[in-house]
């Protein structure tokens, strides 16, 4: 189901506000967004990125379809010409990297990372350019590393606590705050005024007797806590000006995020009503703000809000397809230097000619990679991802673009045993594709083809992403690569309702998530591939997790002539019922805005009785008697998104009707399955079902430990 977003605050100052701002809205009323200033396009350079499909521009429907089919044929020919790979063990797609979370100090003198050794996660540091790595902390539950602005401290936000380390190891380490739990605290970021202090937001307790208060706190070692800001409405984002005073504040008001310029008197300068998004990046020279947002257009791009409130769209995807995904800021002046668009094809753009020349040299060495940059003084830390690269690689880039590998020898681990990274030479390419739906909309997706085979005779697996308001990106996919290695062609559609390709693309779903328009996108895309030489029409299956699992069950229920089997991980058997159940449980899609409001803005209204009735009538649960194909269902007993009782009821109904249903339940698992053996069991059972139903490769035999796990959890 829909991912619950952490409050992403970039707060950098002190202030107190306990009442609505002068001139600002009260309650659910929000001001209109200001008139946008003229939007000059800044020159950005971009390396050429290959794609097998284009927008189609103003071409006719017939020429566009012909172009799509021709591009698809080229992809098929390219993969068929490559030699068939060896069959790799499941562990190659399940193992975890030993080292990850690389973070470059703002001055570029040190790099830190998280290392997994002996079942423990530690923090490592290395002086640059050629210092020896040293273990700075032997055990942590941190999931990321964040440097202080002065580069002297490392903050370690984890699932349960926030800690700080002195980078020089000379003392000052300590726990700063608990996170999550009853206090509902969320890490914001480093305090720019005090090196070893961090900022956290404390949300009011859900059952608070008094009026709710949101607090921004400075936390320091030794249990010192200083309230910096209070508000009667949810705090979303904030930032300071050059003098260190809180100059900008974003808070949730009704169904919108409202940005205030805190000059006297405070005034609203920008309103992002859901489902539009505006995310602060940092303060610009002159006191303005950089944002990622789509308040002014369909695509999210780089926006600038001047001190007087004028909003300028600085840049958006030159291909006209993708939302802006990530921005690299200069740690010295806070200016954006690199912009990443990677919803359809990977693009990293440099804002200056000098950076572009240096980036071009990097691109020449890392052709086709999806890159992110961290800037530290004159050094760059390049994080490389790719459609054939499992995990990521870290590189240090010198001023002339020359690359030095960083920590490439640590490898992967699964079940306590070391694993090699799969050889990129035997991995399949993830081809971006486009096709035209029956109503004329252009749709996006990805195709992963098995190597060295006639794909027209290969089994085809449709792999549907979760969300539904999520997307498949062009980087490595464990599921797709595992299946391609076994000889399957894998189709991953970004159906309408998927994110990352503009607001219109998301809203085009119109909430039709039953056996309607969204499912038709998936079905039509599958039939288009079959008609154009991808897959054996008698050997097609559909798989997915969360919403993808729901779609898989819809597929075999309503299209049994197309889909011969389904694999459904943590699936809602009735999408509307699950949305209705969890929308009042404190979950949020947009920080501070009720889930029901966000879902309603996206076309799914839990209070619309007619819509909920239609979703219920079209659900797999209500149509269990119509199922004629075998299904594999995996569920978590502690699932916080899709309650286990609904899944269990659905499978019990199938069993009562004599349907072919395999049910695996990890009683300790939540919605995100973390247990190694359960993830391996999912792959084993999926491979077994696909082998038995559409004639794919026989799975690697289960080890005694896996067999015991299967015996314990199979129902």
Chain segment 379-395, per-residue pLDDT in tens? 999 999 999 999 999 99
Comparison of pLDDT for 138 and 42, the residue scoring more: 138
Average pLDDT over residues 192-218: 81
- In CATH, the number for domain 61-91+422-586+631-713 is 3.40.50.1820
Residue 101 clears pLDDT 90, i.e. is over it? yes
Residue 105 clears pLDDT 60, i.e. is over it? yes
Report, in angstroms and rounded to the nearest whole number, the Rg of the chain calculated over CA atoms.
Answer: 25
Position 207 scores a pLDDT of 63
Q: Tell me which range, 17-21, 62-66, 75-79, is most confidently predicted by mean pLDDT.
A: 75-79
Residue 53 clears pLDDT 70, i.e. is over it? no
> Strands across the sheet with 256-261, in order?
235-240, 246-253, 256-261, 267-273
Position 543 scores a pLDDT of 98
Residue 649 clears pLDDT 80, i.e. is over it? yes
CATH of 98-409, one of 1.20.140.10, 1.10.340.30, 2.130.10.120, 1.20.58.480: 2.130.10.120
How would you class 351 by CB atoms within 10 Å of its CB: exposed for 0-12, middle for 13-18, buried for 19 or more? buried
Q: What angle do CA 73, 75, 79 make, to 5 degrees?
A: 120
Comparison of pLDDT for 577 and 28, the residue scoring more: 577
Residue 637 clears pLDDT 60, i.e. is over it? yes
Average pLDDT over residues 105-111: 95
Residue 650 clears pLDDT 90, i.e. is over it? yes
Position 219 scores a pLDDT of 87
Q: Residues of CATH 3.40.50.1820 domain(s) within the chain?
A: 61-91+422-586+631-713
Position 648 scores a pLDDT of 94
pLDDT 10s digits, 416-437: 888 889 999 999 999 999 999 9
Average pLDDT over residues 684-708: 96
Q: Look at 40-54, 173-187, 575-589 and tell me which has the smallest mean pLDDT.
A: 40-54
Residue 32 clears pLDDT 60, i.e. is over it? no
pLDDT 10s digits, 317-373: 999 999 999 999 999 888 999 999 999 999 999 999 999 999 999 999 998 899 999
Position 423 scores a pLDDT of 93
pLDDT 10s digits, 610-629: 999 999 999 999 999 999 99
Comparison of pLDDT for 15 and 94, the residue scoring more: 94
At residue 549 the predicted structure's pLDDT band, cuts being 50, 70 and 90, is very high
From 348, 398, 357, select the one nearest 377 (Cα to Cα).
398
How would you class 55 by CB atoms within 10 Å of its CB: exposed for 0-12, middle for 13-18, buried for 19 or more? middle
- Per the listing, tokens 């480093």 go with 190
Residue 414 clears pLDDT 70, i.e. is over it? yes
CA–CA distance, 337 with 376 (Å, rounded to integer): 12
Q: Quick one: CA dihedral 77, 82, 83, 87, positive or negative?
A: negative
Residue 24 clears pLDDT 60, i.e. is over it? no
Q: What is the mean pLDDT of the chain?
A: 86
Q: At a CB cut-off of 8 Å and minimum separation 6, what does 131 contact?
A: 110
Comparison of pLDDT for 6 and 151, the residue scoring more: 151
From 191, 211, 213, select the one nearest 202 (Cα to Cα).
213
Comparison of pLDDT for 140 and 193, the residue scoring more: 140
**Which conformational region is residue 114 in: left (phi greater than 0), alpha (psi within -120 to 50 degrees), or beta?**
beta
Q: Look at 130-144, 408-422, 488-502, 574-588 and tell me which has the smallest mean pLDDT.
A: 574-588
At residue 37 the predicted structure's pLDDT band, cuts being 50, 70 and 90, is very low
Q: Where are the extended beta strands (E) located within 424-483?
A: 430-436, 442-448, 460-464
- The CB density around residue 6, as the number of other CB atoms within 10 Å, is 11
At residue 133 the predicted structure's pLDDT band, cuts being 50, 70 and 90, is very high
Q: Look at 114-118, 650-654, 685-689 and tell me which has the smallest mean pLDDT.
A: 114-118
What backbone torsions phi and psi does residue 317 show, to the nearest 5 degrees?
-55, 120
Position 30 scores a pLDDT of 34
From 640, 647, 637, select the one nearest 667 (Cα to Cα).
637
Q: Look at 1-5, 222-226, 342-346, 401-405 and tell me which has the smallest mean pLDDT.
A: 1-5
pLDDT 10s digits, 222-267: 888 988 889 999 998 888 766 667 788 899 999 999 999 987 667 8
- The CB density around residue 688, as the number of other CB atoms within 10 Å, is 16
Cis peptide before 265 (omega within 30 of 0): yes
Q: Residues of CATH 2.130.10.120 domain(s) within the chain?
A: 98-409
Q: Look at 36-50, 153-167, 492-506, 695-709 and tell me which has the smallest mean pLDDT.
A: 36-50
Partnered with residue 573 across adjacent β-strands are: none
Position 23 scores a pLDDT of 32
Position 267 scores a pLDDT of 85
At residue 284 the predicted structure's pLDDT band, cuts being 50, 70 and 90, is confident
Partnered with residue 162 across adjacent β-strands are: 157, 177
- Per the listing, tokens 């089919």 go with 69
Q: At a CB cut-off of 8 Å and minimum separation 6, what does 200 contact?
A: 162, 176, 177, 179, 185, 186, 187, 188, 216, 217, 219
Furthest C-alpha separation in the chain: 71
Distances in Å between the Cα of 512 and the Cα atoms of 4, 445, 468, 508, 618 are 21, 19, 11, 9, 10
Position 39 scores a pLDDT of 33
Question: What is the total residue count of the chain?
Answer: 715
Task: Give the predicted TM-score (pTM) of the model.
Answer: 0.89
Partnered with residue 680 across adjacent β-strands are: none
- Per the listing, tokens 């002539």 go with 561
Helix axes 676-694, 704-713, angle to 10 degrees: 90
Residue 176 clears pLDDT 50, i.e. is over it? yes
Residue 211 clears pLDDT 80, i.e. is over it? no
CA–CA distance, 601 with 583 (Å, rounded to integer): 13
Residue 174 clears pLDDT 90, i.e. is over it? no
Residue 660 clears pLDDT 70, i.e. is over it? yes
Q: Tell me which range, 10-19, 224-233, 557-566, is most confidently predicted by mean pLDDT.
A: 557-566
């Amino acid at each position: 189901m829909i991912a619950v977003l952490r409050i992403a605050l970039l707060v950098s100052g002190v202030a107190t506000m306990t009442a609505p701002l002068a001139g600002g809205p009260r309650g659910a009323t929000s001001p209109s967004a200001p008139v946008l200033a003229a939007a000059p396009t800044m020159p950005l350079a971009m390396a050429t990125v290959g794609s097998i499909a284009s927008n189609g521009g103003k071409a006719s429907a017939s020429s566009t379809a012909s172009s799509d089919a021709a591009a698809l044929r080229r992809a098929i020919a390219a993969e068929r010409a490559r030699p068939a790979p060896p069959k790799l063990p499941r562990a190659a797609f399940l193992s975890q990297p030993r080292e990850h979370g690389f973070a470059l100090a703002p001055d570029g003198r040190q790099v830190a990372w998280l290392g997994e050794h002996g079942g423990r996660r530690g923090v490592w540091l290395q002086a640059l350019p050629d210092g020896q790595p040293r273990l700075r902390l032997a055990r942590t539950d941190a999931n990321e590393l964040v440097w202080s602005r002065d580069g002297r401290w490392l903050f370690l936000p984890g699932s349960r606590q926030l800690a700080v380390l002195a980078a020089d190891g000379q003392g000052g380490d300590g726990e700063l705050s608990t996170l999550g739990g009853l206090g509902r605290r969320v890490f914001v970021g480093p305090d720019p005024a005090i090196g070893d202090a961090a900022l956290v937001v404390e949300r009011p307790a859900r059952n608070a007797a008094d009026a709710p208060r949101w607090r921004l706190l400075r936390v320091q070692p030794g249990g010192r806590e200083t309230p910096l800001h209070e508000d009667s409405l949810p705090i979303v984002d904030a930032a300071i000006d050059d003098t260190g005073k809180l100059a900008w504040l974003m808070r949730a008001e009704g169904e919108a995020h409202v940005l205030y310029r805190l000059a006297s008197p405070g005034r609203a300068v920008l309103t992002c009503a859901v489902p539009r998004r505006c995310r602060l990046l940092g303060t610009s020279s002159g006191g303005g703000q950089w944002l990622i947002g789509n308040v002014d257009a369909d695509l999210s791009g780089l926006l600038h809000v001047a001190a007087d409130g004028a909003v300028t769209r600085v840049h958006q995807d030159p291909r006209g397809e993708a939302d802006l995904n990530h921005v690299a800021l200069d740690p010295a002046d806070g200016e954006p230097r690199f912009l990443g668009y990677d919803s359809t094809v990977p693009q990293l753009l440099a804002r200056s000619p000098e950076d572009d020349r240096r980036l071009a040299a990097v691109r020449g060495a890392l052709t086709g990679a999806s890159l992110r940059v961290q800037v530290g003084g004159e050094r760059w830390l390049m994080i490389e991802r790719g459609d054939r690269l499992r995990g990521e690689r870290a590189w240090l880039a010198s001023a002339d673009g020359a690359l030095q590998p960083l920590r490439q020898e640590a490898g992967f681990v699964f079940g306590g045993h070391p694993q090699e990274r799969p050889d990129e030479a035997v991995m399949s390419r993830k081809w971006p594709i486009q096709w035209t739906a029956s109503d004329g909309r252009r749709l996006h997706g990805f195709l992963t083809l098995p190597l060295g085979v006639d794909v027209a005779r290969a089994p085809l697996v449709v792999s549907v992403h979760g969300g539904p308001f999520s997307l498949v990106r062009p980087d490595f996919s464990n599921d797709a690569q595992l299946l391609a290695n076994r000889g399957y062609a894998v189709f991953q559609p970004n159906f309408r309702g998927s994110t990352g390709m503009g607001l219109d693309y998301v809203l085009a779903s119109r909430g039709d998530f039953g056996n309607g328009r969204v499912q038709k996108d998936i079905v039509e895309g599958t039939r288009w591939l079959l008609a154009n030489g991808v897959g054996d029409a008698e050997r097609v299956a559909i798989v997915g997790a969360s919403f993808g699992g729901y779609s898989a069950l819809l597929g075999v229920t309503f299209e049994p002539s197309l889909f011969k089997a389904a694999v459904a991980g943590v699936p809602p058997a009735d999408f509307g019922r699950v949305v209705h159940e969890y929308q009042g449980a404190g979950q949020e899609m947009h920080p501070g805005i009720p889930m029901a409001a966000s879902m309603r803005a996206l076309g799914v209204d839990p209070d619309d009785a007619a819509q909920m009735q239609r979703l219920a009538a079209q659900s797999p649960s209500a149509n269990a008697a119509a199922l004629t194909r075998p299904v594999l269902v995996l569920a978590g007993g502690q699932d916080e998104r899709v309650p286990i009782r609904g899944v269990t009821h659905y499978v019990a109904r199938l069993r009562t009707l004599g349907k072919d249903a395999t049910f695996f339940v990890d009683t300790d698992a939540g919605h995100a399955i973390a247990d190694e053996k359960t993830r391996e069991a999912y792959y084993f059972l999926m491979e077994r079902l696909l082998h038995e139903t559409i004639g794919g490769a026989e799975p690697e035999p289960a080890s005694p430990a896996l067999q015991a796990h299967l015996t314990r959890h199979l129902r």
